[in-house]
Amino acid sequence: MCYLVKERGAFQTGSQPQWQWPSDRFYQTFRMLYPTKSAGKHAARHLSLLFSVAMLVASCSTSAESPSPVTPPPKTQAPPEDKNWAFETAPVWADEFDYTGQPDPAKWGYDLGGNGWGNNELQYYTDNPANASVADGKLAITARIEQMGSEQFTSARLVSKDKGDFLYGRFEIRAKLPTGRGTWPAIWMLPTDAAYGGWPRSGEIDIMEHVGYDQNRVHVTVHTDAYNHTKGTQRGKSKLVETASTEFHRYRVDWTPYAIRGYIDDELMFDFVNNGSGYSAWPFDKKFHLLLNIAVGGNWGGAQGVDPGVFPQTMEIDYVRVYDMIQK
């Protein structure tokens, strides 16, 4: 709201307005309309008053029609409450590998090709049975020395994208890992839609990673825009599992709105809590899918070279089970 205020003396009779003629033509027109000196003085005084009022009205109108934008204070998001979510006892999605042949196409697709996969890896991923097959109740993913394209190794990378996509839940995989320098098996998850952008902005959940040059040390890790290995800020834990490559072990992640928790054989070893600061730290409010693969070499897996003498190498998987989180 704007108010017109009379300034002292501005509207008083007898005050002398300071007037300048806009142009000679305006002055000539004025003299024709007001030929006497007395009439001219009164007209000038009235024009000055009208001009001042018009300027004040225009100022108020502009202010009312175009108010200065008000920037709201930044919103702060409180960390979510840990509601101690439980999970269903029967899987909502699973593969028990109780069949023979190639992996079930209703549950698994393949990532195919080579070119390093962003990590200078040495394998070419195929959908050949020699690299991924099911028999005796187990899935076998095998990395081999085999020329394909420009790569010297072949392997397989199974993905559940568009066949098994999940927001929160319990993910349990029973597996026996390969061994040998240069192997890099992983059981992990990626965002299905990458709603926050390319890696790592939309996140990554590593349920299990192992590099052969550091035998039996198993890693559970998450990657986000704020926390990832390119910045040296990734969040993860590792544990020595003495029989990682000779016996089956259970690798599990419980994912809720509050935290991602990693387990090996039901022992909690990793706890990543949602701090409420937004998707840069916690992009884990969108659907993710599963990946199973063996990479060869690469920035991490090949950090101490690759021993060709250890191949072929196989990761065996007894089952993959996903349990719904019970909403509260």
pLDDT digits (tens, 9 = 90+) for 207-236: 999 999 999 999 999 999 999 989 999 899
Catalytically annotated residue among 121, 146, 204, 316? 204
- Which residues are CB-contacts of 213 (< 8 A; sequence separation ≥ 6)? 181, 182, 303, 304, 305
Which pLDDT does position 78 carry in this prediction? 78
Q: In this structure, how many other beta carbons lie within 10 angstroms of the beta carbon of residue 268?
A: 12
Alpha-carbon distance 60 to 97, whole Å?
A: 77
Radius of gyration of the chain from Cα atoms? Answer: 36
Give, in degrees to the nearest 5, the angle at Cα 185 between 179 and 191.
Answer: 170
Which pLDDT does position 293 carry in this prediction? 98
Sign of the CA dihedral with 129 first, then 130, 133, and 137 last = positive
Residue 280 or residue 47, greater confidence: 280
| pTM exceeds 0.85, yes or no | no
209: annotated active-site residue: yes
Catalytically annotated residue among 121, 151, 209, 316? 209
pLDDT digits (tens, 9 = 90+) for 122-160: 999 999 999 999 999 999 999 999 999 999 999 999 999
Look at residues 184, 136, 183 and name the one whose alpha carbon lies nearest to residue 319: 136
Sign of the CA dihedral with 58 first, then 64, 66, and 67 last = positive
Average pLDDT over residues 33-61: 48
Which pLDDT does position 164 carry in this prediction? 98
Average pLDDT over residues 157-177: 98
